[in-house]
Chains A and B, each alone.
Chain A
Amino acid sequence: DTGVSQDPRHKITKRGQNVTFRCDPISEHNRLYWYRQTLGQGPEFLTYFQNEAQLEKSRLLSDRFSAERPKGSFSTLEIQRTEQGDSAMYLCASSSGTGLYEQYFGPGTRLTVT
């Protein structure tokens, strides 16, 4: 399977705990994106990497959130001191840098903060 993969698929955590999600993009895609989706809404942009460089961050990405993409391959999204409002589906997507702008999404990580 050469699609975007995300791990874990589901995460239940208690308020105040830290969580980390992983995304493996389609190989050779140099752009990687994180989005968040809550019930009844479309995905909302969080941050974007081109290779290992984080080029844009949304104002939705508070200082409790941090994302990395070491070596320009997989990426991690960490949420520190989780709050109930962080409960959402976290989606990762990737795209090639060759003039094609379609983004291909992974299955998402469902986070529930209790």
Chain B
Amino acid sequence: DQQVKQNSPSLSVQEGRISILNCDYTNSMFDYFLWYKKYPAEGPTFLISISSIKDKNEDGRFTVFLNKSAKHLSLHIVPSQPGDSAVYFCAASHPGGSNYKLTFGKGTLLTVNP
């Protein structure tokens, strides 16, 4: 059973516009959430994270929003750049319970068109 779901397999946006990637989770024990970016033939690269005690975290062009009641988080990229084209993975963990393993979604392929 998928505990972390990314329901959009792909997303296409124009350069300079906002990209919004969505993620839903079912396990209420998750208390730490992360986004990773992955290029082909490379390992995932950490982008940004958020603890369940916050509802927003911002780092440059990247902002993650967390809605605990809806068990939903989103990653906003603004402005989007062609170099942002990659697969984005949402991941969750429960470090508060000393459970550090990451549970990943299936990923969303973002294409930013020039």
Binding site for B on A (CB under 8 A): 4, 6, 31, 33, 35, 40-45, 48, 56, 58, 91, 93, 95, 101-108, 110
Contacts between the two chains (Cβ within 8 Å), count = 60
SS class of chain B's interface: helix, strand, loop or mixed? Answer: strand
Identify the B interface with A (CB < 8 A): 4, 32, 34, 36, 41-46, 49, 89, 91, 93, 95, 99-107
**What separation, in Å, do the CA atoms of A104 and B100 have in the docked complex?**
13
Residue of A nearest to B32 (CB): A101
Task: Return A58 CB to nearest CB of chain B, in Å.
Answer: 8
Q: Say yes or no: A43-B49 contact (C-beta < 8 A), given A101-B32, A103-B102.
A: no
- Flag if B95 contacts A102 (CB, 8 Å): no
A95–B32 Cα distance when bound, in Å, is: 14
B49–A4 touching, CB < 8 Å:
no
State whether A108 and B89 are in contact (beta carbons under 8 Å apart), knowing that A56-B101, A103-B102 are contacts in the complex. Answer: no
With A101-B95, A105-B44 known as contacts, the answer to whether A33 contacts B101 (CB < 8 A) is: yes
- B101 touches which of A40, A45, A107 (Cβ 8 Å): A45
Q: What 10 A-B pairs are tightest by C-beta distance, nearest first? A: A42-B104, A105-B43, A45-B101, A101-B95, A105-B44, A107-B43, A108-B43, A102-B46, A101-B32, A43-B104
* Chain B residues in 8 Å Cβ range of A48: 100-101
Give Cα A41 to B45, complex, Å: 16
Q: Is A31's CB under 8 angstroms from B100's CB?
A: yes
CB < 8 Å: which of B41, B44, B46 contacts A43? B44
A42 with B34: CB separation less than 8 A? no
Chain A's closest residue to B47 (CB) is A102
A31 to B99, CA, bound (A): 12
